[in-house]
Structure 1
């Protein structure tokens, strides 16, 4: 798990953990709207099938 490789994460409060999760999510979902992530497109197509 990530928490084992970054021990400082274990010391975050629940609120800090939620904030971190939200920031990580936003960081991974932001990007060039004209160019979707090809891996996400592939995964969505596989799920649709």
Structure 2
């Protein structure tokens, strides 16, 4: 099993900000930032981002 602290997830490198809930590196998928532990945290329609 892969280490969740690695900088990749599903072959996609983390390129976004740290997750505000757990500080894990998030990766960008389409128009969303996804935390490997919490799922989608931000998307492009988020007015508070």
TM-score, normalization: structure 1? 0.23
**Structure with greater helix share of residues:** 1
Judging by fraction of residues, say which structure has more strand. Answer: 2
Calculate the TM-score normalised by the size of structure 2: 0.23
